[in-house]
Amino acid sequence: MDYIVRGGNRLDGEIAVYGAKNCALALLGASVLTDDQIILHNCPVISDVENMLLLLRTMGKKVLRSGDTVVVSGGLNTTAAPKSVASLLRGSALILGGTVARYHCAELPLPGGCAIGARPMDIHLSGLEALGVTVEHTADAVYCTGVPKGAQFTLRFASVGATENLLCACALAEGESTLANCATEPEVAALELMLNEMGAEISGVGQSLLHIKGVARLHGADFTVIPDRIVAATYLSAAAATLGDVTVRDCVPTHLDAFLNVLGTRFNVKRYENAVRLRCDALPDGYGTVRTAPYPLFPTDMQSLLLSLAACSRGKTTVCETLFENRLEHNAEQLNKMGGDVIVKGNVATVHGRKLHGAEVSASDLRGGAGLTVAALCAEGMTKISGIEHVNRGYADLAGDLNSLGADIVVI
């Protein structure tokens, strides 16, 4: 699927944000911890979530969807995630901790690397071993057996997925656990809240040091997926790139703090209780130096948005990507096809803003595709973006949403 974007339109108006992909996937991963109903509201209709629901259904769970409400119930009839389905999304790894905790065995095809990096699972696996789980793996699958027992474990890096898997494993472990250097992303905190609603005993919600008292069983929950902060940042970036005036509703402004701290001094940004308005009167003279880092610092998932804004600004920006080893190169090359001046050395991109022009470019990952779409909105002329199936993994209808604000994007 491709986008044909005619740049130059000013974006104006209001748009609502839907549920966060990375929250929904974590909550669905945790649904294996109980046979009771897990009811998720505001669950986005995006391909990664649909593939996660397919995975759960294939493994035996009963899955129903009515609009943005999803109900998952029943038990697994296998603890081996089928490669054909698990390989459709990396988020499939998030059933590992819960499956081991509930069934004391699990087989997961290793999701492998992707366009942005190798993305190993060593922290997930060493954490499970610390809980007494036996972990064996071949080149393309991991096999876990044993009953998780409470333990102390420090994550060598505040990995989002590893934190989520280990939380699920500790929730049903025999005894008490302490997890240190945990990820504190809002999506992780949401999982902690839902687990506690299911009867888990997690203290330190939203913090990097978590104490978990294992319980014998967990029951169902009725929970609402938090708004997608990356989607919100995408809409705000589109406003910034087109000298627009856009209000993003149903978001959590504090989840955007690091992003708004970078944009806020360059645009007219107004925060409301659950909305943010951005008005752009003139392109800024660059964005200074921005480093990505774990929450609450600048999110790596917003890096490609910033790279595009920098490329069409009027000054210099330095972007340092500290989480993924290959999350700058591809978009730099694509932006340079559009007349951009983006030079990448190692994990640092030096950007000198230019007037961009339309070109044929390709998306190689989800957030990169969103970034290129933002760049195309401010480029002169027509841009063709291929690889939009990557974008559809995390956006329900990015073209339709941006067109509702005045963009001119045709999907072919």
List residues near ligand EPZ by CB under 6 A.
21-22, 25, 91, 117-124, 157, 159-162, 300-301, 323-324, 366-367, 394
- In the complex, what is the shortest distance from the CB of residue 319 to ligand EPZ, in angstroms, rounded to a whole number? 15
Q: Which is nearer to ligand EPZ, 277 or 327 (CB)?
A: 327
How many of the other CB atoms lie within 10 Å of CB of 345? Answer: 8
Which H helix or E strand runs over 351?
A: strand 348-352
Adjacent-strand bridge partners of 38? 72, 221
**Least CB distance from residue 257 to ligand EPZ, whole Å?**
15
The least distance separating ligand EPZ from the CB of residue 171, rounded to whole angstroms, comes to 18
Element (H, E) at 13: strand 12-16
Q: What is the DSSP letter of 389?
A: H
Instruction: Round to the nearest angstrom and report the end-to-end CA distance of the chain.
Output: 6
Rounded to the nearest whole angstrom, what is the least distance from the CB of residue 9 to ligand EPZ in the complex?
26
CB closer to ligand EPZ, 286 vs 394? 394
Quick check: 279 and 245 in contact, CB under 8 A?
yes
* Residue 341 CB-density burial (10 A; 0-12 exposed, 13-18 middle, 19+ buried): middle
In the complex with ligand EPZ, the residue whose CB is nearer, 111 or 358, is 111
Which lies closer to ligand EPZ via its Cβ, residue 151 or residue 160? 160
CA pair distance 76, 200, nearest whole angstrom: 20
Shortest Cβ contact with ligand EPZ: which residue?
161
Catalytic option among 23, 105, 114, 144: 114
By CB atoms closer than 10 A (0-12, 13-18, 19+), residue 290 is buried
Minimum Å gap between C-beta 227 and ligand EPZ is 14
Output the smallest distance, CB 409 to ligand EPZ, in A. Answer: 20
- Residues β-bridged to residue 15: 248
Nearer CB in complex with ligand EPZ: 43/280: 43
Is residue 114 among the annotated active site residues? Answer: yes
User: How would you label 215-225 residue by residue, b for 16+ Cβ within 10 Å and e otherwise?
Assistant: beebebbebbb
Contact between 170 and 214 under an 8 Å Cβ cutoff? The reply is yes
How far apart are the C-alpha atoms of 153 and 150, rounded to whole Å? Answer: 10
Structure tokens at 152: 């102390």
Query: Residue written as tokens 């500790």?
Result: 170
d(CA 196, CA 160): 18
Nearer CB in complex with ligand EPZ: 135/278: 135
Active site residue ranges = 114
